[in-house]
Amino acid sequence: MGTEKIRPIVDKSKISNDQVTKEEIKLQFHWYMFAFFLIFLGSFLIPGIILILYVRFFFVPYFLSNSCFMCLFTNIYSLLALIFMPIVLTISYLIHLYAMGLITRWLWKTTEKISPSKDGVIPRNINSKTLNLYNIRSFMIKYPKNAIIKGPFPWLINWLYNFIGTNKIGKGTTVEEQFGADRYVEIGNNSYIGVNCGFSSHSVEGIFGNVSYFKIKIGDNVTTSGLNCIAPGVIIGDNSYLLPLAGATKYNVLKGDNYYFGAPLRKIFKKKVMEYLNVNEEDLEKDSKVKEKYQKVKEELEKI
Q: Could you tell me the CATH number of the domain that includes residue 39? A: 2.160.10.10
Domain that holds residue 223: 12-268
pLDDT at 246: 93
**Pair 107, 39: CB distance under 8 Å:** yes
**Domains contained in the chain, number:** 1
Residues 41, 42, 46, 49: is their CA dihedral positive or negative? positive
Strand partners, 248: 230
Long-range pairs for 251-260 at CB < 8 Å and ≥24 separation? Answer: 251/4, 251/5, 251/6, 251/7, 251/214, 252/2, 252/4, 252/5, 253/2, 253/3, 253/4, 253/5, 254/2, 254/3, 255/2, 255/3, 256/219, 256/222, 258/2, 260/2
Q: Look at residue 243 and tell me if it is in a domain.
A: yes
pLDDT digit string, tens, across residues 263-286: 888 888 777 777 777 778 787 778
Higher pLDDT pick, 32 / 6 = 32
Confidence band of 9 (pLDDT split at 50, 70, 90)? very low
pLDDT digit string, tens, across residues 215-226: 999 999 999 988
Instruction: Say how many CA atoms lie within 13 Å of 15 toward its Cβ.
Output: 7
Q: Look at residue 190 and tell me if it is in a domain.
A: yes
d(CA 93, CA 73) in angstroms, rounded, equals: 27
Q: What is the mean pLDDT of the chain?
A: 86
pLDDT at 36: 93
Q: Look at residue 288 and tell me if it is in a domain.
A: no
Q: Look at residue 258 and tell me if it is in a domain.
A: yes
Q: Look at residue 216 and tell me if it is in a domain.
A: yes
pLDDT digit string, tens, across residues 185-216: 999 999 999 999 999 999 988 776 789 999 99
Return all residues near 4 (Cβ < 8 A) that are at least 6 apart. 249, 251, 252, 253, 264
pLDDT at 154: 93
Q: CA nearest 105: which of 62, 157, 160? A: 160
d(CA 63, CA 75) in angstroms, rounded, equals: 9
> What mean pLDDT do residues 95-109 have?
97
Q: Look at residue 194 and tell me if it is in a domain.
A: yes
Q: Look at residue 302 and tell me if it is in a domain.
A: no
pLDDT at 208: 67
Q: Look at residue 278 and tell me if it is in a domain.
A: no
